Structure formats: structure tokens, C-alpha cells
Structure 1
Amino acid sequence: MTSSTNDPAADYDGPPDYRVVGRHALFPQTSHDEIERINYLAQMNRHLAARVVPGVKAAYGVRVVPGFEREHGRPIANRHEARKALLQDPAFQSWSALRRLTMEQRQQAGRWTVIRQREQLARIAADLTDGDDRLLLDPTLAVPRYVSAVDHHCMPGSYHTEAFAGDVAAGANYDHAGFVTTGGLLGKYSDGGGHAVVKWVKRNLPDFRPTAILEIGGTVGHSSLPLAQAFPEAEMTVVDIGAPVLRYGLARAKSLGVDNIRFVQASGEDLSTFADASFDWIQTTMFLHELSTTALANIFAETRRLLKPGGIVLHVEQPQYAPDMPLFEQAMRDWDAFYNNEPFWSRMHEMDLDAAMVAAGFDADALIHGGVTGVVDRDLFPDAEEDETEDYGRKAAWHVIGAMVA
């Protein structure tokens, strides 16, 4: 958002004030200081992307690349060499340290707000969900090691850890403090990704009328609710490993008036509780990068089994490391794998996902490729123009890979 006036406030192009985010019955209450802490962190992330990253890119061109070539007598060959060379440069070191700091502080800011009221939040969730058959939890479900062994994107306890029966703290933290990294660009309810997918489906498949939709790894339903709202005649099912995010997700959905949705605790690798050909549409949104290679293959196979004839599967992710992607960009995107507790990020983004889809049983001629950009909430950004700022792994611009079953 830009302006030609002399008013500094009118020229401000950072995130909106956190006070404008959408709230619901389960949304944590925030004090003045908690709000300002989130505002500061969101603005710091914007500053790093808009003002510091360009300096890192310049340093790569004028110092890192020439220095590598002098030392080795050849150009940088791949993203791994580019990353290791960047590690020696103070511009990258400063950006990386600050970015990691904002991630840690984002989690601690969010967790402090939630922990001081987590018993109250659990009571609200229980009032909304107890006895509701749209919440199906499985206390015997084993959390796989690729989930339990790491605190994803610096979130202590990841999505599944609970301190007491009925805990929803993981969901509450994930929901209310995600504003730090999205800066409001995913809308009041952090659902701009879901709205983008709906827009893509309605534009490209105008006659598609799903009656059963599944999202795997849907957490609290940010990207799921827009699908349920766009197709009210369909039953939306959200599957996730974590009980806290599922409890929170159903309470959130009910308080937002979305009723055609259920939340089921299960592993996407084993959805045997659902019969073959159960769904018209299966969706994942920024989920594949959190999977081990084996888990990804298993989930792809399950999606093929579960799709009805004429059904579609769509996976929304940050772009793959294609040969035409500059090595600098690849190295910057790889930051999440090494410094943001996303151990499968690097491997997943170098995979041939087309080949993985075919190996899972999809017809190569039926593969779907596309792109979506998060739908901007005009209530938050009334004068928003196309945002060209690149934040390497954070920008709300994603690739779509999927398939249609004949």
C-alpha cells in the first residue's frame, strides 16, 4: 500500500494493527502489551523482507559469488554451496539471526498469552464441543516420530502436545499469533489461502460440485472453513494428528457459524476409517513440507484410494526448486530447513512431485498444475496493490499440484 501524500501515516506500507484481526468465541484475550508485542514482531518481519533481504541479495552478488569463484576457481554449483557461502557473509548472518529471533519471539509471545488463560479457553472449547459428534478424537493414536521429534517452526510442543485433558493451547497459539508471520495478508481470520483455492477451483472447474471434501493436516481449519463455506451442500472433514488443534478447530468453526464441518484425529498415512472413493475433493495446504519422504508417499497413496471418480486432489505449497530458480533464492528458501525446525523442507522442495503422484497411482495425463495467491482482505488493506516483496517461504503465493481421477 503506497501513497504520494506528505503524511507519514499515509505512506506506511507495513502490516495493519493487530487490533483489526477477526475474533471469535475461542480467540485468546490480549492485553495492550501483548498486542504491541505482536505488532512489533509483525513489523519486524516486514522490515526484514522489504528492507534487509534486498541487502542480502546485493551482498550475494557483489561479495559472496565473486569470493567463492576466487577461492574455488569455478561458479557456485548448487543451493547447498550457495547457502554455505552465504553463511560467511555478515549481511546473511544478520538477517538470519534476526529472522530466527522473530520466530522464537513469535512463539513465546503467543504462548504467554495462551498459557495465562488456557484453562479458561479449554472450558469455552468444552462448552462448544462436548457431546458434538463432529469432533472425533482417538486417544490411542500414536504420534509419528517425524511429528514428535521436532517443534515445528519453533512452536514448543508442535501441534499435538497437551498439558491436561481438553487442552487447546496449541490451537490457540497457532491461531492468534500467526499474524506475526502473515502480517494480515491472509485476512482477518488467516483464511486467505483457503479463499484462494476456492477461487482457483471455481475458475478452473466451474461445474465441480463436491459433496464430500477432506483436508489432511488442516490444524484449526484456517484453509478448511472457506471450502466448507463455498460449498455449503458438502460435508467438510478436517483430519489432523493433534487433538488440541482439532478441539480448537471445531469450537472456532461453530463460533463462526460454519456447521458443515467435522474434525477427526487421524494420521493422513492411514485413513482406513474412510472407505475407498469417499471424497470428491482432497486438499492439503502448506502441509507437504512437514512430512517425511515415506509419510508423503503414504499420504499420496491414501488420497488416490479415497478419491471418487471425477474427484480432485490439490496440494498447495511453496514452489519447488526448479532448474530455473536462481541459486540465491533456493538457498534463502532453504533457511527454513536449517534454522526454522522444518527438517523435511529442503528434501521435499527438491522432489519430483509429478513422479510421486504417478507412483501413488495417478495418471500422468491427469495431473494438475497451477498457482494461487492469498486473497487480500480489503477491510485490512483497502488500497492494496500487488505486493512484489519476496520473503522466501513466507509470501502468500503458492504452487498447486494435484490430479483428477477419471
Structure 2
Amino acid sequence: MDGSADFPEGTSVKYAGPRDYRTQGRHAVFPETDHDDCERFNYLAHVNRYIRERIQPRIEDAYNARVEPKFVAEKGRKPKDRTEARKLLLTEPMFQYYSAFRRANMEQRQQAGRWVALRQAEALAAKAAALTDGDPRLQLNPDLKIPKYLVDVHHHCMPGSYYEENFPGDVVNAANYDCGFFVTNGGAEGQEWLDTVGTAIAETLQAKFPDLKPKRILDLGASLGHNAVSLAKMYPDAEIVAVDAGAPMLRYGLARAKSLGVDNVTFVQGDVADLTKEFGDESFDLVTSYILLHEISFPAMKAIFNECYRLVKKGGVVVHSDIVKNSDQVSVCEQAIRDWDTHYNNEPFHALLRELDQHDFFLQSGFSEDGFFRASSASFGHTALDGRSTPEESALGGVMMVGAIK
């Protein structure tokens, strides 16, 4: 009943689960965690991976066995799109089980991270202040109007999202994001510093553009700098500018970077859709973002592509890495499952990005099709291909790097 009968006595089974939370990298402002904190994060990471790898694939099995046949018998046709498929899934027990389990896992992840950060809020703020006070690489704007798409939504069920401050110098939300990201990534395999993706993106760019020697790099929606620090390590002679709307993220980010020995990142508070007050035209050789676009509104996204064209130099590169768009190579059931975050994880713009070809936005903002390139998450760190993404690449899921040369 426990599955042991499947293995003859004496058979060794290789462990394939998440790594232990105690292997997580600890920098100077990383929250202190005790035994119970670590085991709570371990448990939640295991649950997250179980949900994704064991339960999620069974949804399509149930859809094919029960949901679609019942609909065909009643209507004489198959569901026409992902919206219709999702509505049908709402009454399917496997989807209900998956949704309840996954939502509970995310809420518990946020509770676990916030409890760790809140109980040492003042101490964390003091540590960050000791590393950042008076440092010109932290440029905050207390008059910045936080964009409505951030104010109205607590992304990923994270109270206060990226920007909320409860007292001067507060870094709680950033500390929560940092210490709990291990769970969100299902154990963050191989990511001691949670920078594997950022490093892979930088390696992909270096492989694609071996002659690119950027002097200034702009990272948009940088949060606490996981990817900005990766870029800083890969391009040590460049100045990295990490922009985010959240002051707690930026304070924590600079303190984290300095404690890791990275001194070529400047953290700037700003609205990524309009940086005209912060930077002049053609100020950067490379502009990047990672998992930013699916968290912003449609008008803001259009504005960001226009800003990227304005900010990057002639011959420079712009690259955004985010969720892949859907195509006819992806079943309507899988598309409906991909929309889960839109409806249940406080990411209302997630589904919109699934419908869009980002290269269309590049074209509309002034870039030429001749300079388009892309790389799927399966090839991160290795190969970037010329042109737009293909329907077959969409079927792979994950993250797609989409870029253009000015």
C-alpha cells in the first residue's frame, strides 16, 4: 500500500527530491532560520514539487477520460478554447484537488517566509542599513507613485507585494521573497544563491553575442537583484543598473549584493514603464528583464517595449525572459492549466501574456525583424536561435527568452 512492494528487497532508490533547505546560501542579510523554519520550508518545497510533478499531469488524464467525453456527448463538439476548457475543469475533482492543494501551498509558503522575516524585522532593517546607508548605489525615490497594477494586487499571494513598507528602512517583503523562493522553485535545485536562471540567461547572451562587451546594463523589475547580481558576475567590467518600484527590495538587494562581494550594481527605484527622469536616450548597451512582463498591465507592457527602444544604444540588445505564449501545439486543457496563476495566484495579467507574441511589441516599438532572436528554457546557457519562437517551442512550456538587436 505504501509502494514498497514495487521494489524488491535490497533495491536502492536514488533520491530525486528537493535539496535540503540548509544548503541554501546565507549572505549577510539573509534571515536567520531555526530547525522548525528549515523543516517547514523543506516540507513546502516537497509538496510544491509533488503538486507539479505528480498531480498536475493527472489533470489532463481526467480531462481526456471524463471531462471532454461528457462535453462531446452533450454538445456534439469539443471545447473550442482554453476558456471553455477551464470552466469545464472547475467541476472536475482532480482539478479541484490540484487547485486547493496548490493555493494552500502558496499561502503557507508566504506565511512561512513572512513569519521568519517579521519576527526579526528590526534586526534585518539594521543589517541592511549598515551596508547601504550613504551608499550612492542605492537611489530611492520616496515620491514615486507605485503603479496601479502593483497596488491593486498582492502578487503570488504575498501581502504588500514588492513595495509595502511598515516602518522606515523596512526590508521584510524582500527578506520573505528571498528566504521563501526556495519553496516557490520546488527546492531550487542547484541554486545556492537562487541565480541559476540569471546565470544561464547571461551565458546564453554571451554565446549568442561573443563580441558584446556592455559597459552599462539595465535590469528591469529587478526585485532584490537575483538576476542583476548574476549579470554583474558575468560582466564584471559593466555597470549594472537594477530598477524596481519597491524600496524594500532595493535596500535588501544592495545589502545582499555587497555581502556577496558584488560591487558593480546600482539599485534605482523607478517605474519601469517610464524612466525618462532617471535615464537619457541610448543610455545602455544591454537591457534585460526576467519574469516581469506577466506581472504588469497591457498598457505598461507596451510602454516598457517603447522605453527599451529609447534606452538601448544602436547595436545594443534587449531581452525579456518570461512565460511562453500558447500555440496550436498546446492542447486546450494544458492551456487552461497554464492559466491557473491568473485565477488563483494573484497574477491577473498572466493569461494575457500567453496570447501575445512579444516580437510584435518589439516591432511596434521600432526594432527590426532582422534582429530578432529567442531561446527556450531548455537551451538556456547554450543556444539562442534567430527569429521568432515556433509553435513547437511553445509546447515545451517553461520560460522563453525573447530578444532583439537595435
Q: TM-score, normalization: structure 2?
A: 0.92
Partner of 2:181: 178
Counterpart contact for 1:193–1:374, Cα < 8 Å: no
Q: Report the AA paired with residue 51 of structure 2.
A: L
How far did 1:286 drift? 0.6
Partner of 2:46: 43
| Alpha-carbon distance in 1 for matches of 2:120, 2:379 | 31
Note if 1:228 corresponds to 2:229: no
Match of 1:354 among 354, 359, 369: 359
Q: Report the AA paired with residue 27 of structure 1.
A: F
Identify if the C-alpha distance between structure 1 residues 5 and 230 changes in structure 2 by more than 3 Å, giving closer, same or farther.
farther
How far did 1:54 drift? 2.3
> Deviations along 1:233-274, whole A, 9 cap, x unmatched?
100000000000000000000000000110000001111121
What secondary structure does 1:109 align onto? Answer: helix
Q: Report the AA paired with residue 71 of structure 2.
A: F
How far did 1:6 drift? 6.9
How far did 1:50 drift? 1.6
Counterpart contact for 1:195–1:374, Cα < 8 Å: no
> Deviations along 1:88-142, whole A, 9 cap, x unmatched?
1000100110000000000000000000001000000000000000000000000
Match of 2:158 among 135, 139, 155: 155
Match of 1:306 among 311, 318, 340: 311
Q: TM-score, normalization: structure 1?
A: 0.92
Q: Report the AA paired with residue 331 of structure 1.
A: A
Partner of 2:148: 145
> What are the within-5 Å matches in structure 2 for residues 13-92 of structure 1?
13-92=16-95
| Alpha-carbon distance in 1 for matches of 2:404, 2:322 | 15
Counterpart contact for 2:201–2:380, Cα < 8 Å: no
Counterpart contact for 1:200–1:372, Cα < 8 Å: no
How far did 1:8 drift? 8.2
Partner of 1:136: 139
Partner of 2:219: 215
Note if 1:292 corresponds to 2:297: yes
| Alpha-carbon distance in 1 for matches of 2:192, 2:264 | 21
Partner of 1:255: 259
Identify if the C-alpha distance between structure 1 residues 308 and 5 changes in structure 2 by more than 3 Å, giving closer, same or farther.
farther
Structure 2: runs of 5 or more not aligned: 1-6, 382-393
| Alpha-carbon distance in 2 for matches of 1:350, 1:142 | 29
| Alpha-carbon distance in 2 for matches of 1:217, 1:42 | 25
| Alpha-carbon distance in 2 for matches of 1:8, 1:15 | 21
Match of 1:108 among 108, 111, 125: 111
Partner of 1:400: 401
How far did 1:352 drift? 2.7
How far did 1:11 drift? 2.4
How far did 1:204 drift? 1.2
How far did 1:10 drift? 4.8
CA RMSD of aligned residues (A): 2.0
Identify if the C-alpha distance between structure 1 residues 8 and 169 changes in structure 2 by more than 3 Å, giving closer, same or farther.
farther
Identify if the C-alpha distance between structure 1 residues 312 and 95 changes in structure 2 by more than 3 Å, giving closer, same or farther.
same
Counterpart contact for 2:324–2:397, Cα < 8 Å: no
Partner of 1:167: 170
Q: How many residues align?
A: 386
How far did 1:366 drift? 1.7
Match of 1:198 among 202, 214, 221: 202
Identify if the C-alpha distance between structure 1 residues 144 and 29 changes in structure 2 by more than 3 Å, giving closer, same or farther.
same
Match of 2:342 among 330, 337, 353: 337
Identify if the C-alpha distance between structure 1 residues 12 and 5 changes in structure 2 by more than 3 Å, giving closer, same or farther.
farther
How far did 1:372 drift? 3.0
| Alpha-carbon distance in 2 for matches of 1:131, 1:374 | 41
How far did 1:374 drift? 9.0
> Deviations along 1:9-51, whole A, 9 cap, x unmatched?
8522110110001010000001111111111000001111121
Structure 1: runs of 5 or more not aligned: 377-391
| Alpha-carbon distance in 2 for matches of 1:373, 1:263 | 30
When structure 1 is superposed on structure 2, of 265-274 and 5-14 the one drifting more is: 5-14
When structure 1 is superposed on structure 2, of 266-275 and 357-366 the one drifting more is: 357-366
> Deviations along 1:316-345, whole A, 9 cap, x unmatched?
011101222221221111000000000001
What secondary structure does 2:226 align onto? Answer: coil
What's the % identity of the aligned pairs?
Answer: 47
When structure 1 is superposed on structure 2, of 250-259 and 47-56 the one drifting more is: 47-56
> What are the within-5 Å matches in structure 2 for residues 234-253 of structure 1?
234-253=238-257
| Alpha-carbon distance in 1 for matches of 2:339, 2:180 | 23
Identify if the C-alpha distance between structure 1 residues 18 and 398 changes in structure 2 by more than 3 Å, giving closer, same or farther.
same
Identify if the C-alpha distance between structure 1 residues 8 and 189 changes in structure 2 by more than 3 Å, giving closer, same or farther.
farther
Identify if the C-alpha distance between structure 1 residues 318 and 172 changes in structure 2 by more than 3 Å, giving closer, same or farther.
same
| Alpha-carbon distance in 1 for matches of 2:46, 2:397 | 16
Q: Report the AA paired with residue 331 of structure 2.
A: P
What secondary structure does 2:335 align onto? Answer: helix
Q: Report the AA paired with residue 132 of structure 1.
A: D
When structure 1 is superposed on structure 2, of 55-64 and 136-145 the one drifting more is: 55-64
What secondary structure does 1:370 align onto? Answer: strand
Match of 2:129 among 102, 120, 126: 126
